[in-house]
Amino acid sequence: MTHSSRVAGLSYGRYRDWLDEALDDLEAARRLFELGMWSKVCFFSYQAAEKSLKALCIKKLGKYVHTHSVTRLLGELSIVIDLPLGLVERVGRLDRHYIPTRYPNAWPELPPHKHYSGADAEEALNAASEVVELVRREVERDP
């Protein structure tokens, strides 16, 4: 057994665990929204989308895609599922929340949480909700 197959057996083959973790991240984003923690909502929304799409890549493509780009994951999936019109643009904007939501040195001044608004959080949460729901439908269609 190769190292990569051992790793795949331990983690990458467990698409339902990836989806479950995505659902947990989405719930965290919703709760953080209620608290007005906008940058955290953006980050957890991004995480929910990324993890749910990785789950679907494992399920539909039979592989774990090594990326942190929601846009790339959607591109990989577009060869096996029909994506709703405009989804890549709406959900792809989540990619911008991967680093700047967490690291002060991603900004010229002020901590990350000072740079995000309720509108940013709402957009991110809506995009994540849309992609997680798409993934859930695809998984239920072919359990």
- The token pair that represents 59 in the structure block: 């399920």
Q: What is the pLDDT of residue 141?
A: 86
Q: What is the pLDDT of residue 10?
A: 46
pTM of the entire predicted model: 0.89
Per-residue pLDDT tens digits for 54-67: 999 999 999 999 99
Q: What is the pLDDT of residue 142?
A: 76
Check if the beta carbon of residue 128 is closer than 8 Å to that of residue 28.
Answer: no
């774990």: which residue's tokens?
64
Per-residue pLDDT tens digits for 114-142: 999 999 999 999 999 999 999 999 998 87
Q: What is the pLDDT of residue 8?
A: 47
> Which residues does 131 contact at the CB level (< 8 Å), separation at least 6?
48, 49, 52, 53, 70, 87, 91
